[in-house]
Amino acid sequence: MKINTAITAAVLCFAAMQAAAQITAPTATPTPMTNVYGRNPQLLNGKWAAIIDPYDQGVPKEIYLDRTPQNDTEFFEYAFDGGMRLEVPSDWNSQMPELKYYEGTIWYARHLLVGEKASPREGQCATTVEMPREDERLFLCFGAVNYRCNVYLNGSRICSHEGGFTPFEVEIGDKLREGDNFLAVEVDNRRRTDAIPAMAFDWWNYGGITRDVMIVRTPKVYVRDYFLRLGKDGGNKILFSVDLSEAASREVTLEIGELGISKTLKTDGRGHGEAVFETKKLKLWAPEAPYLYDVRLTCDGATIEDRIGFRRVAVDGTKILVNGREVFLRSISFHEEIPQRMGRACTQADARMLLSEAKELGANTIRLAHYPQNEYTVRMAEEMGFILWEEIPIWQGIDFTDTATSDKAHGMLREMITRDRNRCAICLWGIANETRPSQARNAFLKSLLDEGKSIDTSRLFVAAFDNAYFIRENDRFEMDDDFARNLDVVAVNKYMGWYAAWPKDPATIRWEICTDKPLMISEFGGEALYGQHGNAHRASSWSEEYQAQLYADNLAMFANIPNLAGISPWILFDFRSPYRFHPTNQEGWNRKGLLSDRGQKKKAWYIIRDFYRTKRNEQSKK
Ligand code: GCB
């Protein structure tokens, strides 16, 4: 009895300590700096030491401390030296068979060695880091960690972050000491009702430090953010704005050599500066000619390099215009996954593989499903001339009544837009996928939309809906969702022939949805196992023939949508999904890919390739 009481007291006391720690936990720098890659970062990639902690014993056992026994009676029940190793960046699930389905906590650790005397112990995961100079600051920057994490340096928690697909950073220059510094990152990818995405989603929940980890050096006052874009008035005016890390007045020089721009401006007392440039012969970025300029920013001796393009994107009635020209979005989606190795895409080579396949299909647009993908992909897509739709993972099942969830969504939106708003390829910001009308949903999404528009007025906002239905009395597809009226482009996911049966001959079906706005079919498709042949009229054949017929039928239906501005088949590759149970046809894979998990072309691939060819030819004649 006594023992029980003691245990209960200890548990309560520990819970209280945890709650207190939660409340006082430092968070990452509110909005991370723009363009880390253009600031000459030092990569901390490679093998990291790791400990699997399914019962969350790391905190009570203080495994974020790098300790060795000090006397004959002392011992510790953990050690990173001599233990398992995980590659960073990467997911953990693909690195060890026992981690395939793992959802829980894993600790990552690395030593940061400062000064000549510090040398790694044998087999230790370590990086040599130079101590910041008197006039310098040092930041630890994470491209993304899925899903939430706590970062510890030399035994103190220095930052926490939630959200698996956006960057964050924490200052460490003031916390480093000469010699050995111990960095530990506690990563937890458990699904939760208040998370984004929440409890169930149709992709693999890859956990880990899934993107680059970097150290960036800056002056004491540095350029935190900048934004270069074309003015909306139709001329060749370039608008430039810059924000410093502090409310300080500093000179910032912007150079775009090729345009003869070299301008030094002084920020105001809030650390903010703006300038407008009139240019004569500006080459615009366009999908068929994705021109980018070398850009350089200098402030207090620090230089940031970037490549930035300029284009105009607008809506005119039901049309989407890029540089004043109508563009039909020949889109495709992919997850941030390399199916061939069953893991997260995380390198430049991975980005090249996915994007080259999209090019071969004839796409001019990519809907980056369903979350901000890594900067390699976004930047390479821009260089290759893809229009991008980038979205945050508001995917079904989100608790719209929870204000904490709303705060998280706002944080993700800010982190996404701040990271990528200098990428002119991004023409659409997506705020949600498949949500249903309710007061709470409307308020949640409206406040997101308002915030997005307040940060970036140079793009279109979109959301994908799945509540368009065939209304028999009216003999057409309709959608009863007033929220759509707030968006620049309305998008509908509709799986005719797969989750929904055809109500009549596809070629005779009409659509009447937001007919005064551009409408995009943002998802459609069905599953087929590559190499499986069978009945073209039976879904349960899981055959390439059925999928191909479904594609042909959908294209016939789309021909009658009056305000159709683009289509995005679901999806480029078969992808891994834990809720696809069929033992022979799925085996944990969503088989809607136009390409198999090995990259083999299914019959439906050719149908879209041909359709996109025709569309491209039509466009080039306009
Ligand atoms: C959808 C979702 C997408 C799924 C897809 C499917 O509507 O937006 O994430 O993977 O359907 O295959 O069911």
Instruction: Dump the DSSP string for 568-613.
Output: --S-SB-EE-TT---TTTTSSEE---SB-TT-PBPHHHHHHHHHHH
- CATH match of 233-311 with 3.90.550.10: no
234-249 pLDDT, tens digit each:
789 999 999 999 999 9
Q: Which protein residue's CA is at the shortest distance from atom 7 of ligand 1?
A: 493
Instruction: Answer whether 209's CB lies under 8 Å from 184's CB.
Output: no
Ligand 1 contact, 592 CB (< 6 A): yes
What is residue 26's predicted lDDT score, i.e. its pLDDT? 55
Q: Which protein residue's CA is at the shortest distance from atom 10 of ligand 1?
A: 202
Ligand 1 contact, 590 CB (< 6 A): yes
- Residue among 336, 495, 520, 570 whose CB has most ligand 1 atoms within 8 A, to mutate: 570
Specify the CATH architecture of the domain 327-523+544-569+602-621.
Alpha-Beta Barrel (3.20)
What is residue 27's predicted lDDT score, i.e. its pLDDT? 63
**66 alpha carbon, distance to own chain's centre:** 33
H-run or E-run covering 419: helix 403-420
- CATH match of 2-216 with 2.60.120.1310: no
Of 552, 568, 553, the residue nearest 509 (C-alpha): 553
pTM across the whole model: 0.95
Instruction: Answer whether 90's CB lies under 8 Å from 80's CB.
Output: no
Which amino acid is residue 356, in one-letter code? S
Residue 564: DSSP 8-state: E
Q: Please tell me the distance between residue 15's alpha carbon and the centre of ligand 1 in angstroms.
A: 39
Q: Decide if 2-216 and 233-311 have a common fold.
A: no
Of 178, 133, 184, 132, the residue nearest 156 (C-alpha): 184
Ligand 1 contact, 202 CB (< 6 A): yes
Ligand 1 contact, 250 CB (< 6 A): no
Three-state DSSP class for residue 326: strand
Three-state DSSP class for residue 480: coil
Instruction: Answer whether 408's CB lies under 8 Å from 196's CB.
Output: yes
Residue 577 alpha carbon, nearest atom of ligand 1: 10
Q: Which protein residue's CA is at the shortest distance from atom 2 of ligand 1?
A: 202
Residue 466: DSSP 8-state: -
CA–CA separation, 564 vs 566, rounded Å?
6
Q: Which protein residue's CA is at the shortest distance from atom 4 of ligand 1?
A: 202
Residue 525 alpha carbon, nearest atom of ligand 1: 12
- pLDDT averages per 10-residue partition of the chain, 622 residues: 39 39 52 96 98 98 96 96 96 98 98 91 93 97 98 98 98 96 98 97 98 98 97 88 97 97 97 95 96 98 98 97 97 98 98 98 98 98 98 97 97 97 98 97 98 95 98 97 98 98 98 98 98 98 98 98 98 97 97 98 98 95 82
What is residue 415's predicted lDDT score, i.e. its pLDDT? 96
Q: Where are the domains of the chain?
A: 2-216, 233-311, 327-523+544-569+602-621
Residue 201 alpha carbon, nearest atom of ligand 1: 9
Q: Under 8 Å CB-to-CB from 255, ≥6 apart: which residues? A: 261, 262, 263, 295, 296, 297, 298
Ligand 1 contact, 189 CB (< 6 A): no
CA–CA separation, 354 vs 573, rounded Å?
9
C-alpha torsion 33→36→41→42, nearest 10: 80
